[in-house]
Amino acid sequence: MIQAGEKAVITIDAIATGGDGVGRLNGMVVFVPHTCRGERVEIEVFKVKSGCAYGNITKIIEPSPYRRADFCASLGACGGCDLAHMEYAEQLFVKRQIVADTLTRIGGFTNIAVNETLPAPRSERYRNKMVFPLGQDENGKSSGGFFATKSHKLIPLTDCRQGDRAASLWLAATLDYINETHTTLYDENSRRGAARRLFVRLAEGTKEAMVVLTANAKKIKQPELFVEKILAVPTDYTVKSIILNVYTEPNNLLLGTKNKVLYGTETIEDILGGLRFSISPHSFYQINAPQTENLYNTALSLAGLTGQETVLDLYCGIGTISLFAARKAAKVLGVEIVPQAIQNAKENAARNGITNAEFILGSAEEIAPRLAKEGNTPDVVFVDPPRKGCEEAALSAILQMNPKKIVYVSCNPATLARDAKFLCQRGYSLQEATPADMFPNTSHVEAVVLLQRDN
C-alpha cells in the first residue's frame, strides 16, 4: 500500500492528458507534474485516490534529454505553463501522443492516422490575450500576476513570456494607478474591494490593443488618470479601447456583464487570412493568431470546399471559420450563443463584403435541432465547441441533417473522442486527426478531425 508522505524513486514513462508525467510505484500509477519522459525522479506522494497516486518531485536523479531550464522564474509556482520545462519538439510529441491515446481510450478508435502536431509559428510571447488577477501580495502590496496551480493564491509577476511585453507594461501602469488613487483590491472571500483583473487583448494584424480593468464597482476613481497611465506606456501597439468592466457578480468568469468605455471604442479589429474582424471584450477570439490561420486552413482543407456547398458553422464565435469558409462555399450559416459575438460576426461579414454568410444567435443544442426540423441539409458542418464538447441534442441534429463531412475543431481531446465516438456509431467514420499547437508551453491541446459520412 502506498501512502501519502511516502518517498520513492520512479521512472517517468509517459506524459498524461493534463501534462503530468506518469510512472509506476509498486505497480500503481503515479502522476508527477513537471517531469519529462525517461526521467528518473525522487518523489514524495501527496495523495492516493481511486487506485492512483499523486506525487511531487523532491529531486531529479537523472534528467531527461527533453528537459530544458530557465524558461521562467515562476515555473512550478504559477499554474500557467505546465510543459515549459520540456524542449519544444518534445511538447509537440507529447501533444500528438495525448490526442492519439485519448482517441483510443475514450473513443475506442484504433488505426487512426494522427498527424504530427502543427508547430506554432512562435513558441513564446504568442498570447494575444492576457488576464492578470489583481490583489495583495504577502506583504499587503498591490500586485498582479497569475494564480498558483489549482488555487487562487496570487503569484505576482513582472513579466510573462507567454504574452507580449506590452501586456506586462500595462499591468505595471495599472498598479501605479491603483497605488496613486488608493483604489482597493478585490478580495474573493470577503467580496470587498474594487479592482479585480486586468484584461488585455492585442490584434497582431493591425497592432491595435484593448485594455480592460474589471472592477467590483460601477465607477473607479479618476478614470482619466487610468487612461493617461495606459496611453503613456510605450509599445508597438496602438491602444484603441480602454474599458471599465463592471464585475460585481460573485462568480468566477472572465468578465462581468457591463462595459463602460473610458477611451476610444468598445471593439478592436484584427486581420486574419486577409479578412478584418471586429472583436468585443466578451467575444471569444483564438489566443494565438498566427497559429489560428494554420488551424483554420487545416480545417478548411479537410472540408474540401469547391464553391458549391452549403455550410453550417456551429459555435462560430465572431464568425472566423464561417467567413474563411464563405469564400469557398455557396452559403454559410453560423450559430453562436454570445450576443456580442454574433453582432461582431454580422458586422464582420458586412465589413469584408461577404454576402453569403448569415448568423443566428442561440445555443447549438437549440438551433441545430430547429434547423434540422426545417429541413436544412448542409453539405459540411464545422463544430468548434468549448471544452465540454457538444451536447447530444446538437450531435443528433447534425446526424439528422446528414452532412457529407463534419469537421470537428476541439480544444479538449477527451470530449472530442466522446463526440466522435457518438457520431461514428451512427454512420460516420473518423478519417484523420491533426493536433495543432495553439498553446505552447502548456498542456492544452487543440486538434482538428474529419468525420466523413459512410455510404
Q: Show which residues are catalytic.
A: 411
CB of 365 to ligand SAH, least distance (A): 6
Q: Which lies closer to ligand SAH via its Cβ, residue 128 or residue 286?
A: 286
Distance between CA 163 and CA 315 in Å, rounded? Answer: 26
Question: Segment contacting ligand SAH (CB under 6 A): 60-68, 108-116, 170-178, 337-345?
Answer: 337-345
For 299, residues 6+ apart whose C-beta sits below 8 A from its C-beta are 321, 382, 407, 409, 448
Q: Is 336 in the site for ligand SAH (CB under 6 A)?
A: yes
CB of 240 to ligand SAH, least distance (A): 20
- Which is it for strands 380-383 and 310-314: parallel, antiparallel or unpaired? parallel
Restricted to residues 248-287, the positions that interact with ligand SAH (CB under 6 A) are: 284-286
Q: Which lies closer to ligand SAH via its Cβ, residue 208 or residue 270?
A: 270
**Beta carbons of 433 and 406 less than 8 angstroms apart:** no
Q: Which residue is nearest to ligand SAH (CB)?
A: 317
CB of 338 to ligand SAH, least distance (A): 4
Of positions 384, 419, 437, 446, contacts ligand SAH by CB under 6 A: 384
Write the CA distances from 325 to 69, 73, 200, 206, 296, integer angstroms. Answer: 42, 42, 29, 22, 9
Restricted to residues 310-329, the positions that interact with ligand SAH (CB under 6 A) are: 315-317, 320-321
CB of 292 to ligand SAH, least distance (A): 7
Question: Segment contacting ligand SAH (CB under 6 A): 70-78, 151-159, 352-360, 361-369?
Answer: 361-369
Question: Segment contacting ligand SAH (CB under 6 A): 200-208, 259-267, 381-389, 397-405?
Answer: 381-389
Q: Is 297 in the site for ligand SAH (CB under 6 A)?
A: no
CB of 345 to ligand SAH, least distance (A): 9
Question: Segment contacting ligand SAH (CB under 6 A): 28-36, 140-148, 342-350, 379-387?
Answer: 379-387
CB of 332 to ligand SAH, least distance (A): 12
Instruction: Return the HEC string of the chain.
Output: CCCCCCEEEEEEEEECCCCCEEEEECCEEEEECCCCCCCEEEEEEEEEECCEEEEEEEEEEECCCCECCCCCCCECCECCCCCCCECHHHHHHHHHHHHHHHHHHCCCCCCCEECCCECCCCCCCCECEEEEEEEECCCCCEEEEEEECCCCCEEECCCCCCECHHHHHHHHHHHHHHHHHCCCECECCCCECCEEEEEEEEECCCCEEEEEEEECCCCCCCHHHHHHHHHCCCCCCEEEEEEEEECCCCCCCCCCCEEEEEEECCCEEEEECCEEEEECCCCCCCCCHHHHHHHHHHHHHHHCCCCCCEEEEECCCCCHHHHHHHCCCCEEEEEECCHHHHHHHHHHHHHCCCCCEEEEECCHHHHHHHHHHCCCCCCEEEECCCCCCCCHHHHHHHHHHCCCEEEEEECCHHHHHHHHHHHHCCCEEEEEEEEECCCCCCCCCEEEEEEEECC
Q: Which lies closer to ligand SAH via its Cβ, residue 32 or residue 394?
A: 394
Q: Which lies closer to ligand SAH via its Cβ, residue 185 or residue 321?
A: 321
Dihedral sign of CA atoms 359, 364, 370, 374 in order: positive
Of positions 53, 341, 398, 414, contacts ligand SAH by CB under 6 A: 341
CB of 289 to ligand SAH, least distance (A): 11
Q: Is 338 in the site for ligand SAH (CB under 6 A)?
A: yes
CB of 316 to ligand SAH, least distance (A): 5
Of positions 18, 108, 386, 427, contacts ligand SAH by CB under 6 A: 386
Q: Is 293 in the site for ligand SAH (CB under 6 A)?
A: no
Of positions 363, 400, 429, 452, contacts ligand SAH by CB under 6 A: 363
Q: Which lies closer to ligand SAH via its Cβ, residue 171 or residue 364?
A: 364
Residues in contact with ligand SAH, total (CB under 6 A)? 19
CB of 266 to ligand SAH, least distance (A): 17
**Beta carbons of 277 and 270 less than 8 angstroms apart:** yes
Q: Which lies closer to ligand SAH via its Cβ, residue 72 or residue 326?
A: 326
Of positions 185, 227, 262, 337, contacts ligand SAH by CB under 6 A: 337
Q: Which lies closer to ligand SAH via its Cβ, residue 326 or residue 341?
A: 341
Q: Which lies closer to ligand SAH via its Cβ, residue 12 or residue 332?
A: 332
Distance between CA 215 and CA 197 in Å, rounded? Answer: 7
Q: Which lies closer to ligand SAH via its Cβ, residue 32 or residue 337?
A: 337
Interface with ligand SAH by CB under 6 A: which residues? 284-286, 315-317, 320-321, 335-338, 341, 363-365, 384-386
